[in-house]
A = this chain, B = another copy of it.
Amino acid sequence: MAPARRIPEATVARLPVYLRVLAEEAAAGVITISSERLAELAGVNAAKVRKDLSHLGSYGTRGVGYTVDYLAYQMSRELGLTEARPVVIVGAGNLGQALANYGGFSSRGFPVLAMVDSDPDKVGRVIGGVPVRHPDDLPDLVADSPNTIGVVATPAAVAQSVADRLVDAGVRSILNFAPVVLAVPDGVLVRKVDLATELQILSFYQQRTPAGRRRSRARAGVA
């Protein structure tokens, strides 16, 4: 009986993956799932799944597994997903538009309220179903929902000033796609997604793997 306080960072980072798998299984009519199977679908090993889940509480049944719906519910609750978190995307360029159009946000509880851009040609238009607003409207947009998440999808040069405006408007969570380290006050959370960084990491690891024999068609996967 681990009553579950202080969930390790590494575990938190995996919960969304488990949650997605559980949603898929639930949709497929699966009622219970073992740590073994969940591990396979999530691409990790079973011991890790059990340890991770034990941090949430004792939601499994020995000899049986976990009830998919129930586990998913507990996980959503723990992640704070019981109510929707609105998203405002700053930067209505290619990336901003792609994110706005990307169905994965709204469908997973993150409705895209608006895009924000200073280009007068864009302000007032609706792109991909999302209205484009002027940066001055940020405080109004955020005022209603204090737990709005701000997404920075601008060029690096303006990312810091955009972040400042988001913070001033009351945003306390920021997802940053610009390749800069944002400075924000205490209490504001930033996560960064850097596309070129990901490629560089791939680049490092690929050079070690000698070039390999020609393609074996094995489904290795969960390595």
Which residues of A come within 8 Å of B, CB atoms? Answer: 7, 12-13, 15-17, 19-20, 41-43, 78-81, 85, 87, 93-95, 97-99, 101-102, 104-105, 108, 110, 128, 146-147, 149, 167-168, 170, 172-175, 179, 181-189, 191, 193-207, 209, 211-212, 215-223
Contacts and interface: CB of A to CB of B under 8 A. Distances in A.
A11 B13 CA distance: 19
A74 to B, nearest CB: 13
Contact of A196 (B108, B147, B191): B108
Contacts of A108: 196, 199-200
A97 B99 contact: no
Contact of A199 (B15, B110, B184, B217): B110
27 contacts: A12-B204, A20-B197, A80-B203, A80-B206, A85-B199, A94-B128, A95-B98, A95-B102, A97-B98, A99-B195, A102-B195, A108-B199, A146-B211, A167-B215, A172-B212, A174-B202, A175-B195, A181-B221, A181-B222, A185-B219, A186-B216, A186-B218, A186-B220, A187-B209, A191-B198, A193-B193, A193-B195
